[in-house]
Amino acid sequence: MSAVSLQEPEVVVDDFVALEERVLRAIELVKSERAARSEAEQRASRLQSELEAQNIQLEQTQEQVRTLERDREQVRQRVEKLLKQLDEISS
């Protein structure tokens, strides 16, 4: 009987050590995942800011294109008018 009672505490201690190791690994895993999540959230926030800045730039560029298209149309009309006047003079 004394041999059985001596082995039981050793088995319990081994089980406890194994459980402790698993808990420590789980804690490290949670820490690692939290750090990865935090990094991903920061990256997402930075990318969102970049996207907003690019959208503003896109809107400005589109407005510039519209302005240039209007200017081009005005110049085209003026050139056509001048060409018409030249045709009238030469006729």
pLDDT at residue 18, rounded to an integer: 93
Q: 23-76: per-residue pLDDT in tens?
A: 999 999 999 999 999 999 999 999 999 999 999 999 999 999 999 999 999 999
The pTM of the full predicted model, rounded to 2 decimals, is 0.59
pLDDT tier, 2 (very low <50, low <70, confident <90, very high otherwise): very low
pLDDT at residue 14, rounded to an integer: 86
**CA–CA separation, 53 and 56 (whole Å):** 5
